[in-house]
Chain A
Amino acid sequence: MNKENKIRLPLKQSVKLIVSYISNRVLEQFKKISIIILYLVFFQTIILKMPLYESGMIAIGLIIIIIGLAFFFEGIMLGLMPLGESLGLKLPKKAKLPFILVFSFVLGVLATIAEPAVGALKANGIFVKAWEAPLLFVMLNKYTFLLVTAIGIGVGIAAFIAMLKYFFSLSIKPILYVSIILLLIISIFSIFDKNLLYILGLAWDSGGITTGPVTVPLVVALGIGVSRIVSKTNSGLAGFGIVTLASLIPVLTVLILGASLLGKVPEPDSSEKFFEAQNKDKIVSMFESEEDAEIYILKNTNFNTWMSYFGSKDEITTYIENLLSDTSLQNKIFSDKKDSNEWIKSISDAELALFLTTKYPEVFDIKNDELLDKTESMFGYIIKGVLLENLKVALLSIAPLIAFLFIVYFIFIREKLFDLDIIILGIVFSIVGLTLFNFGKDLGFVKLGKQTGEGLPVAIKKIKLSENKKIFKNLDIDAIQKSIKEDGTIEKFFYYKENDKYKTTTFDEKYYDSEKKIYAIDDTKGPLFGENNIIPGFIIILIFCFFMGYSATLAEPALNALAYTVEELTVGTFNKNLLIQSVSVGVGVGIMVGAIKILFDIPLIYLLIPPYILLLILTKFTEEQFVSIAWDSAGVTTGPVTVPLVIAIGLGLSSQVGVVEGFGILAAASAFPILSVLSTSMYLSFKRKSYLSDI
């Protein structure tokens, strides 16, 4: 840009321009995200009649999310996509095919490692029980690096194949047929192994999760650029198809990784049998150290498992005594709780809690020094901890990728990059946007989603509110009352006072220590329509899942960017909103089906085979250009707005319903949008064909 030629606008006019620019962008995001938020709040408070905790913090978080999304989306449009496209346009003319193939492979691997959503998989791993799905457990905990690498290699291979597709103008259809049929066959085989069975959900989910909000726009733009240069077809849409490959191939690599780790883990069993002393070597090898294994058992299993692991009560006593004297071990155990009191309250096994509190009342007094410091200055903690952490995540997910692209551009292409100042501004916007978005998400959105997710099972069953475990000290046996049911059984209960109100709770002698007069019980709630009327509850859950999926997808930045690109490439004939709406409906249906999977514990394979077979048939009859768009929209659906909600719902439902793992919802949420977009495309094709008969 020539400086002399620059026009300086009067300040007033510049401010006016900027204000209208910002307010337009913010308003646009506000419209998109307000639907899902109002919906969640409405559902939580009106339908489930559950209290909304921390509403002030959630509200602030949501405002930050909107600003973050506005920045991020603008960053995609100004920075990431133009950079990807310029590179794609220049690369085929400046470099030979082998170089481009290597470049795309490296790009795929880098993009995955940087992808923050991969972290969400790990979050899901915390809730997987080591004894129920040992292979899944080690892949999500000890071998996360291997898992991420496997996914990365999958995405790399996908980018590699996509480039070959562009260069040789290959049709996406045969590639899809081969990969889907291969994946389904491998998936069918893996259900015959107890361990592999449980990683199926992870494998299919990881495909969807890798294609995140940074990767998708970048890769799509790159693909469009490359295909504009090398593709023989006239349609600009030939550049699509790369995202769906990046969702499918990782399924394969994750399953292969699972199969290769199979020998390292024991078979699933009950926790008592699994943690038996003679299995110790294999068990310890599943964790980083023996200490970690013991902490895991302490925090996640029950009293009997403890007994079978340590062998005798004496061993346990030694362990606890060691614990009381070792502060570093204490901090490790109570890493996320302020003190042991809080932890004991959240212990899943009431018997274990009772044992600890009666035998070692001093366990109550252990404080977590690190966390106490943090809570003392809440504000400082939020700014320093959460904001900086998120800035780091945003930088990590954008900077390495962008740096790689810039290096390739300036070393191999050596041409002036047009609008470089705007591209850099866009990249800064996307980093700021992603930071703010994740910051707001941590403050508000995730909490909101988690509360609704945990509350959701209330619709169908009595749930334990484990954070509200009640421990009564000094419970006198005289306070126990008796009540009689119609069939003559007697149930004991007692009155207690809470918040100036008298309440009742059942009394079970199993959880009572008569010497110390301590009683521990879980707080419960539900079912919403009474014990014998759970069908309306199911329907409520399914309706909830549909609208949640639908409204969260509307706000997905990557989907919006994709839809915008499709509209531009088709000069408006494939309308942006048509694509967004049909994808959102598809995701809604998908999440509903995923919830059915968890509620009824249906094996994932039953939910994969029918839709994918149907997809292959529809694909056969849909036009090539639409096939790529439809399959690609599946990859972009599972972005930063949907994933935390889906995970929260998956965890909430599966922990309450008692299934082993909550994976698979995302996989279902990826299959159904393809279906809905393919149907929409068929309608569009039909309309186009009928144009000629109309005239």
Chain B
Amino acid sequence: MYKFKAIKIVCEIYGELSSALLSSLKEIGVKNMNIHNGRSVSLIEKSSKIFSNLITTKMEESPFDIYEFYVHEEDELKVIKYIIKKNELFIPGRGSVYSIKIDIITNEDKSNINKINITQTDDSIPYLTKLVGIRCIVQKGNSLTAIKTALSVGSSVPIVSIGEGAGLRDKLGLLRIAISAEKEIVNIVVNENDADEIMNILIQTAKIYDVGKGFIYTYPINKGLVNTKIYRGRQKYAASVDQIISAIDHLKGNADWRRKFSKIDRYSYSDKINILTNLIDINFNCNEGAAMDIIQSVLRTGGTGATIGKIKSYFEDDSDENIYPAREISYMTIPENHKDKIIASLISAGIFQPQSSGIIEIIKVGKASTYKKPN
């Protein structure tokens, strides 16, 4: 077992640009990565065909692909800048890229970390710091409320992917067919100073505090550039609002200037809301079909629940026969003091066995919230 620190680069890209991103990543020596399918939701303005003055806004879904790969800490900024430049992510709407500090536990040496080959960097490339990711996991079909909220606070374009829940449901025997396991995972990236408030609004609107409604948590993002193209439609000026925002972001170096919520008069959490701290996110990816078994045995040793999504892994050289192209990723949030126990049970459940070929990532969680059992 090896344990080391690394940087995870996440790049959310518009579906049509996906293959261009893939080839640009190959160019700089990214040899293995994971790809999820997702969708973004943005607002589009449409003028009515009959009454041309009537402009309606509707939500529109577009396919997005999410690329994830590991790099060494010293390569972090180079890679982010390269991706932004090569794929012109500074034009709002094309996609986002950001980095997360993680701990990796694997069975092999650091072979999972891509050796990046970039010689020159361009200092004029804009990027932001002080960002926070919010991940909200809800029942399938209920993501709309969370998405609407995210769009209405104008933070960033939410990216939705799908997953399958594991937890209480699996202890019901055959009765479990009566409860849908399908989940939607809504991911948004916001300004650090707004994170608490936006999370609070999401909890309220999506009723996360009710039983079975879902789970929400925040995680720190190191550096990145986020897609702010919330509105699409007719453009009246030489630059769109999101272009102006992106320009000012670049000048300021962070998005703190567009903070929406005052630090002084923020309202307190309602009693219903149950804020959890001192948590970590244990994610792992493994061959498709293996994740559910691993989760089941972890649940037996005290885990609370997990969400599993399907991903596709990309390997430049198919040298490792045990790693399937079809993989699964599991998100599981646990108290920090259970970390060693859970990792031990993951390993004893066979996560590093050849048929699973898993990799564990540990990410620090800022705050989290879910249903709290009344005392």
Contacts and interface: CB of A to CB of B under 8 A. Distances in A.
A573 B174 contact: no
A89 B289 contact: yes
Interface in A1-58: 1-2, 5-7, 9, 14, 17-18, 20-21
Contacts of B16: 688-689, 691-692
Interface stretch (A65-73, A226-234, A380-388): A226-234
Nearest to B44: A694
A234 B325 CA distance: 10
A78 interface: yes
Contact of B94 (A228, A231, A688, A695): A695
Contacts of B300: 2, 5
Contacts of B289: 86, 89-90, 415, 418
Interface string B162-175: 10000010111111
B178 A20 contact: yes
B171 to A, nearest CB: 4
Interface stretch (B33-41, B271-279, B340-348): B33-41
Contacts of B325: 228-231
Interface residues of A, number: 44
A569 interface: yes
B173 A6 contact: yes
Contacts of A90: 289
A416 interface: yes
A572 B177 contact: no
Interface string A209-243: 00000000000000001001111001110000000
Interface in B12-38: 14-19, 22, 35, 37-38
A234 B312 CA distance: 7
B63 interface: yes
Interface of B is mostly: mixed
Nearest to B314: A234
B322 to A, nearest CB: 9
Nearest to B35: A234
Nearest to A7: B171
Given A228-B325, A570-B37, A694-B232, A418 B292 contact: yes
B320 to A, nearest CB: 13
A421 B172 CA distance: 12
Contact of A234 (B22, B38, B173, B229): B22
A566 B179 CA distance: 22
B198 to A, nearest CB: 23
Interface in B168-204: 168, 170-179
B37 A17 contact: no
B232 A572 contact: no
B35 A7 contact: no
Nearest to B233: A694
Contacts of A378: none
B61 A572 contact: yes
Nearest to A417: B289
Contacts of B175: 9, 14, 17-18
Nearest to B16: A688
User: Which residue among B92, B233, B288 has the maximum number of chain A CB atoms within 10 Å of its CB?
Assistant: B288
Interface string B298-332: 01100000000010101000000000111000000
Interface string A82-98: 00001001100100000
Contacts of A540: none
A78 B177 contact: yes
A422 B161 contact: no
A2 B168 CA distance: 13
Interface in A569-597: 569-573
A381 B227 CA distance: 68
A5 B161 contact: no
B40 to A, nearest CB: 9
Nearest to A568: B162
Contacts of A419: 292
Contact of B326 (A17, A229, A692): A229
Interface in A606-663: none
B102 interface: no
Contacts of B171: 5-7
A695 B292 contact: no
A425 interface: yes
Contacts of B229: 695
A362 to B, nearest CB: 62
A569 B91 CA distance: 28
Nearest to A567: B162
User: Which residue among B14, B37, B168, B229 has the maximum number of chain A CB atoms within 10 Å of its CB?
Assistant: B37
B65 interface: yes
B288 A691 contact: no
A125 to B, nearest CB: 41
A18 B65 CA distance: 37
Contact of A229 (B61, B299, B324): B324
User: Which residue among B14, B232, B312 has the maximum number of chain A CB atoms within 10 Å of its CB?
Assistant: B312
Contacts of A231: 325
A89 B174 contact: no
Given A418-B289, A418-B292, A688-B62, A228 B173 contact: no
Contacts of A689: 16
A180 to B, nearest CB: 28
A2 B162 CA distance: 27
Nearest to A235: B37
A9 B172 contact: yes
A18 B179 CA distance: 9
Contact of A421 (B93, B174, B293): B174
Contacts of A229: 324-326
A17 B179 contact: yes
B22 A573 contact: no
B160 interface: yes
Interface in B42-83: 44, 61-63, 65
Interface in B221-246: 229, 232-233
Contact of B39 (A21, A421, A573): A573
Given A234-B22, A418-B289, A571-B37, A691 B178 contact: no
Given A9-B175, A90-B289, A573 B62 contact: yes
Contact of B160 (A78, A571, A695): A571
Interface of A: 1-2, 5-7, 9, 14, 17-18, 20-21, 74, 78, 86, 89-90, 93, 225, 228-231, 234-236, 415-416, 418-419, 421-422, 425, 568-573, 688-689, 691-692, 694-695
21 contacts: A6-B173, A17-B179, A20-B178, A93-B324, A229-B325, A234-B19, A234-B22, A234-B314, A415-B289, A425-B177, A570-B39, A571-B160, A572-B39, A572-B162, A688-B16, A691-B62, A691-B232, A692-B17, A692-B93, A694-B44, A694-B93
Given A231-B325, A573-B61, A695-B229, 10 more contacts: A1-B296, A20-B178, A234-B35, A418-B289, A421-B174, A422-B174, A425-B174, A688-B16, A688-B63, A689-B16
Closest 3 CB pairs of A and B: A695-B93, A21-B178, A228-B326
